[in-house]
Amino acid sequence: AQSVTQLGSHVSVSEGALVLLRCNYSSSVPPYLFWYVQYPNQGLQLLLKYTSAATLVKGINDFEAEFKKSETSFHLTKPSAHMSDAAEYFCAVSSQNAGNMLTFGGGTRLMVKP
Amino acid sequence: NAGVTQTPKFRILKIGQSMTLQCAQDMNHNYMYWYRQDPGMGLKLIYYSVGAGITDKGEVPNGYNVSRSTTEDFPLRLELAAPSQTSVYFCASRVAGKTVNTQYFGPGTRLTVL
């Protein structure tokens, strides 16, 4: 069975500071990993995904994530936080069985202080 | 394209009442999914469908039913609403085929059972 753990349910950074959101996965097969963002009262929007083509994945709004197989991690980073980045972020892994369903982590709420 | 649409946006039910949450997509996606999101938790898969006439249970199917008579629509039925079903419900869809294909989410339905 696959699982995803996001360390830190709440992360607070100052505007302009580095954003680091942690995600560790458990998978018996090579994983396909996703980061989604959820703004208040909205659905989930894809930020980026790991497809095995490259370990460093760039997404929208200057976010990027690095796949590290040895650490079973897929942490999300952004060099400089903006107020508009305040949202909830979800890491997810896709199964390779019928339906290709996503298993989500518990989410990390990012708060950005002025 | 409207993408994935969900109705209603909000609903309050009394214990024991029934209702149908509607989900439609206009992207000709074969795969569709229903998730629920509880406060402070990630999304849990309720049911999914890999095409018209084909549905299967996810992680938390108890108390729910689905049908898929067309490619576009995937309604979720609650027969006897219980307070434990108070949640935000998200519908998603994706193209069939590769595990890495992105799921696209609707805006959600916020359901309260009193």
Alpha carbon of A93: minimum distance to chain B alpha carbons (Å): 10
Where does the pLDDT of residue A104 fall: very low under 50, low under 70, confident under 90, or very high at 90 and above? very high
What whole-number percentage of chain A has pLDDT above 70?
A: 99
The most distant pair of C-alpha atoms in chain A lies apart, rounded to whole Å, by 45
The shortest CB-CB distance from B45 to any of A46, A101, A107 is to A101
Asked if B105 and A45 come within 8 Å (Cβ–Cβ), the reply is yes
CA distance B13 to chain A (A): 20
Q: Looking at the predicted structure, is the pLDDT value of residue B98 above 80? A: no
Q: Tell me the mean pLDDT in the region A21-30.
A: 88
Q: Which residues of A touch B47 (CB under 8 A)?
A: none
pLDDT in tens, B67-92: 999 999 999 999 899 999 999 999 99
Tell me the pLDDT band of A98, cut-offs 50, 70 and 90.
low
- Kindly provide the b/e burial profile for residues B66-92, where b requires at least 16 CB atoms within 10 angstroms of the residue's own CB: bbbeebbebbbebeebeeebbbbbbbb
Q: Does A25 touch chain B (CB under 8 A)?
A: no
